[in-house]
Every structure is written in C-alpha cells, then in structure tokens.
Amino acid sequence: MPIYKAPLRDMRFVLNEVFNADAFWQSNPALSHVDSDTVSAILEEMAKVSENVLAPINRSGDEEGCSIENGVVTTPKGFKEAFKQYAEAGWIGLGADEQFGGQGMPKMVTVMTDEMIFAANPSFTLYPLLSIGAAMAMAQHATPEINAMYLPKMYSGEWAGTMCLTEPHSGTDLGIIRTKAEPLADGSYAISGTKIFITGGEHDLTENIVHLVLAKLPDAPAGSRGISLFLVPKFLVNEDGSLGARNPAAAGSIEHKMGIKGSATCVMNFDSAKGFLIGKVNQGLAAMFVMMNYERLSMGIQGLGASEAAYQNAAAYARDRLQGRSATGAKMPEKMADSLLVHPDVRRMLLRVRAHNEAARCFAMYAAQILDQTKYSDDPAVSQAAADRVALLTPVVKAYLTDKGFDACVEAQQVFGGHGFIREWGMEQYVRDTRIAQIYEGTNGVQAQDLMGRKVAKNNGVFVASFIAEIRDFNATLAGDANLAFIHNALEQAAKEIEVATQWVIEQANRNPDEINAAAVDYLHAFGLLCYAYMWAKMSKAAVGKDDVFYADKLRLAQFFTTRMLPELTSRLASLKSGSDAVMNFEMSYF
C-alpha cells in the first residue's frame, strides 16, 4: 500500500524562513489573528487527517469508484464517513469569512492544507474543493440574502457546491452554450439544458447540492457576452432555511474515467429547474471566473500533492530495492546487491522529482501570498499590483505545476521498474489520477495561450517586465555571496532570456497572430523554469550559512536544479523561435 507523510518540515521552512509569514500577517490588521503557533497546530492536525483518514481510502476508492442507480450516486466506501469527519472539524471553512462560519485563515495557510489532502486522496478532495470555489463566487456576486441562506451550510459541509459550465458541444468555447434561462413571474428563472463533466454533480455526502450554472436568457447577446450565472439547488430552500421540494436538476449518468474514480463526474440535466440569478445579467463569466481561477490554482496544488506522494514512495522503494552493483565498487558488500540509490540514473530521476516538488511548494506559497495581498491589503496600489501579478501567474501555476507534476509521477513510477506498472504499488494510480489535472479547468494548452496572449502580448509585456524587475531586485541581494553565486548568475541569465523572448514573440505576433499560440506552450514552460529559479534563489538565501543538514541539502538540490534542469529554459526558447510556420505550413488535408 502506498505511503504518505506530510512534508511539514519543508512547509514550515517555506512559510516561516523563506516568506517570513508571521511578519507578513502581523503587518496587516486584517490578518493579525494569524500566528505561526496557530498555523503549526493546523498543519499538524491536517497531517493527521491526510495520513490517517484520507490516504487509507484512496486506493479502495479508486478500485470501487462511484455508482449510479435511478439517478442516485453512491460514493466509495468510507468517503461519506470521512467527509462527515472532515466537515465537522471545520476544514471546509478554514479559509472562509468568519461571518459565514469560516475561520478566516489566509491562502498562505490553505495552500499547504490543500497540498496534503490532494497528496492523500485527490478524488475525495474534489468534493470540498468545488464547494469552496462555488462559495467564493457567491460571496463576491450573490445577494446578501442568498449568501446568508446558503454559505453557512456550504462551509459547514451540510450542503455542497458545483460549477456547471461545459456542454456536450461546448467546452472551452463557452460562448456557444445552449442552456437556457427563462424568466419567471416571481423573479426566478427556469433553467433547461445539459451540462457534462460536472464534478460532484450528484453524490451521497451532503443533504443538498448547490449548482452554479451558466445559461443564456432568450434575448441574450451572442457569444460570451450573453452568458449569465444562476444558482440552482438540488432541493429548493424554504424561507426558514429548511429543505423544500426536489428541483428538476438531476444526474443522467456518471462518466467512466481514466482516474479520480472516487470523484463522481456527472452528466447533469436541468429540466425547467428553478434558478436564481447570481450577479448581473449577461455577466456570468466574470462571476464564474472567481471560481475558475481559484480552481486553476488548486489544480496546480493537485499536481504538487501527487508528485510529493509519488516521490516519497519512489524514494522508499529505491532505498530498499537491491539491484546490481555500483560502477565504482560494491557499496553493500555484505548483501547480494547494492541499493538502487547507487545508480546515478535512479538518483537523477528522484532528484528531478524532488527539485520540482520543493520549487513548486515555494512557488505555490509565493502565489498564495500575492492572493492574500489582493484580498487583505488596505493600500489600493498594492492590491492592484498584486491582482496583476495573480493574473500573470495563474495560468503558470495551473499548467506548469500540473505538467511537471504528471511528469514527476511518471518518473517516480519509472524508479519502480516493472513494479511501477503493477497496481499494488500504487504508482499507476498516481499517474492516472494526475493526468486529469492537465485537462480540466482549462487545458494546459489553453492556459499557455492565456499567458502568452492575454497576460503578455495584449499588454505589451508590462506584467512580465514588472515581474522580472522584482526578480532582479531580489537577485541583487545575493550579489557578493560566493556561496550563492551559482544561483545568482543562473537567475540573471534566465531573466534575461525570458525578457528577450517576450519581446520577440510580441514583435512577431504583430505581424502574424498565429505566433502567439504557436509559441505559447514553450513560453509557459520557459517562464515556469524562470519562476522555479526565482524560488530556488529565495530558498537558497534562506538556507545559506545555517549549520544543519537540512539547509546543506537544500543548497545541494538548488545546484542540481540550476545545472540539470534550468538549461531546458534555453532549449524551450530555441524551439519557440522556430516560429509558427513550422506548425502551420501543412494543408488541413494532411491530418
């Protein structure tokens, strides 16, 4: 059975020593209730939940999956009990506003708890995750009356939430959705249509499910400008908060998937179901994107959680597995063979995974701190700058962490050799479960296009220039320290290469719009490597000069990253500069 142990030592290093969280919280009156002792206790408790409650039902949940009969969906054995325990402990409302029953913890805290539960059981995690995302969209766009009625129940785990966007003919292109909303005399709407790929659309974990549904009014403008957002509950809610009649919003079937089989992915049919407008008419995408951007950041954490769990199992296997002898002479002469760890290629795989994990964890915390600045800063200029940075980095966190997380799971599986392909070791489940993270909440190709098109070319590289300026300001603090010269020089070179490539693509796109999409994935991966280099510089500065093996190993891993992984940035940009002709110079009939 796979193992998992929450990496609390590294989490605390990133939180307290790299980002100096206590000082950040105490400098902001809205976060003065947060302190490192409280957060440490939260992390300890979540580690217990992840290791002892969620991880043990991960494999069994995959093997059993969900089932549907007469529209009733049953989750795998143990999920209902685990969800009840999880909800009653207050975990769903950990980061929620206190006025709705939440605990008001910042994103810098929930980014770590999310990593643990994703590592332990991604299928389970999607149920509370969708509720949190739906509640966030409602909190910002629903009426006070709706929020007072629904949010406390959602944060307590009594009710769940979903997001209903995709239709059989309409995936990324939401402008062509067909779901209709007919106005009713009482101010509500009759919602009719079919949505697919709806995570948690139906299940047995909660007594009610709150669907957020994109639909169009009869006179709506064409395209995405005509989309509105509606709240459609599974059971209608009476004025006193009790549940009323069953709404005609039901699961027609569940999908049979490659992975995350413990998560119910439903086809949802809305047959004149009663719905309530959230936000303004024809501005549904703006409201839904509150939820979508939250989910995109969470998907990046899913990739990190999976690769951390995969690494722990691969490293344990490599320590114990005896195969062959070291090329420089037997290291375990008393045994029939040496450990796999004597072989450089096995170490290469493990180090690549670990270097990704530690950089990704730091990058996720960096993004979390910026999100907290957008929410809690009382300085409008700081909030706006942070919002711009979040816009730039959201597609990177989502796509790069999931791309590299999946690669890491495959690499960790490879350490096992043939055993990695056998079900009992658990590695093939990590690979299958993580694959979806590159697809849902906007495929990674779409994320790359969003980065290259909207966040770079559209504003002529202003967001990138600001980010690189920050990197250079930080990098200047490393100058003169011989122990950090390796990362200082590597980071400056990476920043320069991204700076040049950014302007190159912008110039080329002015002549040929296809250049944006053709360059997008290579640019995102190169940009992701720059972000990782920045994180390794931050971690190296926090580790240098400290007399402990933890810090010495951190610096050694930083050197591995700069010499064995960062050079991919240059090759990615070389591929990018081949231009769009290399991919567009084929007739459609060729395919």
Distance of alpha carbon 323 from alpha carbon 95, whole angstroms:
47
Residue 401 CB contacts under 8 Å (≥ 6 apart), including other chains: 299, 300, 301, 303, 304, 360, 363, 364
Distance of alpha carbon 161 from alpha carbon 200, whole angstroms:
8
pLDDT for res 469: 98
Query: By the 8 A CB rule, do 371 and 296 touch?
Result: no
Which is nearest to 19 in space by CA: 47, 49, 39, 41?
A: 39
pLDDT for res 174: 81
Q: pTM here? A: 0.97
pLDDT for res 144: 97
Distance of alpha carbon 234 from alpha carbon 439, whole angstroms:
27
Composition of the chain by helix, strand, coil, percent to 5 = 60, 10, 25
Q: Strands 189-199 and 180-183: what pairing?
A: antiparallel
Half-sphere exposure of 203 (CA within 13 A, CB side): 34
Domain ranges of the chain: 443-580
The alpha carbons of the chain give a radius of gyration, in whole angstroms, of: 24
From the candidates 202, 441, 492, 515, give the one annotated as an active-site residue: 441
Q: What is the pLDDT along the chain (591 residues), one digit of tens a residue?
A: 799 999 999 999 999 999 999 999 999 999 999 999 999 999 999 999 999 999 999 999 999 999 999 999 999 999 999 999 999 999 999 999 999 999 999 999 999 999 999 999 999 999 999 999 999 999 999 999 999 999 999 999 999 999 999 999 987 878 889 999 999 999 999 999 999 999 999 999 999 999 999 999 999 999 889 999 999 999 999 999 999 999 999 999 999 999 999 999 999 999 999 999 999 999 998 888 787 777 888 999 999 999 999 999 999 999 999 999 999 999 999 999 999 999 999 999 999 999 999 999 999 999 999 999 999 999 999 999 999 999 999 999 999 999 999 999 999 999 999 999 999 999 999 999 999 999 998 999 999 999 999 999 999 999 999 999 999 999 999 999 999 999 999 999 999 999 999 999 999 999 999 999 999 999 999 999 999 999 999 999 999 999 999 999 999 999 999 999 999 999 999 999 999 999 999 999 999
Query: Angle 549-564/485-511 helices, nearest 10 degrees?
Result: 40
Q: Tell me, yes or no, if 587 is annotated catalytic.
A: no
Query: What secondary structure letter does DSSP report for 246?
Result: E
Query: What secondary structure letter does DSSP report for 453?
Result: I
Residue type, 111: V
Q: Counting every residue, how long is the chain? A: 591
The torsion angles phi and psi of 586, rounded to 5 degrees, stand at -130, 145
Distance of CA 164 to the CA centre of its chain: 19
Residue 576 CB contacts under 8 Å (≥ 6 apart), including other chains: 501, 505, 519, 522, 523, 526
